[in-house]
Amino acid sequence: METPPNRQRRAGILYSLAAYTCWGLFPLYLNLVRKVTPLEFLSHRMIWSVLLVFAILGVRGKWDWLRDALRSWRIIRSFAASAAILSLNWFVFVWAIDAGRVVDASLGYFINPLVSVALGAIFLKERLQRPQVIAVLLASLGVLWLVAEVGQVPWIGLVLAGSFAVYGLLRKTAALGALEGLALETMLLSPIALGTFGWLVAHGQSRFLDGSVSTRALVLMAGPMTTIPLLLFAAGARRIPLSMLGLLQYIGPTLQLLLGVTVLHEPFKGEKLVGYALIWLGFGVASADAFKATPRSSPG
């Protein structure tokens, strides 16, 4: 019979895979709402996300945590930090997609697992197994090759990688669960989002209000498109080691890269295939080890 820790580990892997798949396909959605500026879209992500999350909490009828959280300066400070880092990650990613730089954004999420592994080892004292070390080395070689091919500091990738790795660390050690933590984060961000949207409306710069019905409908989907992957990610982060969480993330940028090249027709030099091949090989090693280490259910 499968033990509770093993069930938690398996669930964490599945939650994380689902989250990264959603994020990998996210550029397709953002390409449909390019008429809305990145700043306005970011404000809508925050507004509709907080409404959706609190609607879910209302259905579940769980509110005691909010009173306790608002009384704790430590919790508020922690989630204010994670909310600020998350909003930075959101804005840079949306801006990159709007600017036609999906491939550059995908590079950031290829680098991110390396940062997550480092943070896990430094702050959480997580020990890496031999397959994980091999995977990190292969991925590092791939990233170094890509950086050399770019020929300049890939600031988009570095900002995305660093911000999301820190966010993962903060959520890994957070005092609240996945849904409650996201609710507090979006609640803390909502005054800024409402203020930004109000300023855009007052100055006649709201593409949402001036847009078509289809554009408005797509923007309204920002709530579930944002909330669902974050809930899956937070649930996965609490169940598996941060190092494993980071290595599994290669699914997202791989999908983004494929979309950027095949669907959005962004340039992709053949020389980059060497770097990406090393990264994919590292992901394969890490994935095989992750599932191999998850015991199957045994009879009795």
Q: What is the pLDDT of residue 270?
A: 73
Q: What is the pLDDT of residue 283?
A: 72
Q: How far apart are CA 79 and CA 179, in angstroms?
A: 13
Percent helix, percent strand, percent coil in the chain, to nearest 5: 80, 0, 20
Q: What is the pLDDT of residue 298?
A: 40
Tell me which residue range forms the domain holding 60.
8-292
Residue 152 counted as domain residue: yes
Tens-digit pLDDT profile for residues 170-202 = 888 888 887 888 899 999 999 999 999 999 999
Tokens of 8: 């938690």
Tens-digit pLDDT profile for residues 88-104 = 999 999 999 898 898 88
Q: What is the pLDDT of residue 152?
A: 64
Residue 227 counted as domain residue: yes
Q: Report the run of H or E that residue 216 belongs to, with start and end.
A: helix 213-220
Extract the residue ranges of the chain whose pLDDT is less than 70: 1-3, 150-153, 242-243, 246, 287, 290-300
Phi/psi zone of residue 61: left (φ > 0), alpha (ψ -120 to 50 degrees), beta?
Answer: left
115 and 163 in contact (C-beta within 8 Å)? Answer: no
Cβ density class 148-171: b for 16+ within 10 Å, e for less: eeeeeebebbbbbbbbbbbbbbbb
Residue 81 counted as domain residue: yes
Residue 153 counted as domain residue: yes
Residue 33 counted as domain residue: yes
Number of domains within the chain: 1
Residue 2 counted as domain residue: no
Residue 54 counted as domain residue: yes
Q: What is the pLDDT of residue 83?
A: 93
Tokens of 110: 């290829």
184 and 69 in contact (C-beta within 8 Å)? Answer: yes
Residue 299 counted as domain residue: no
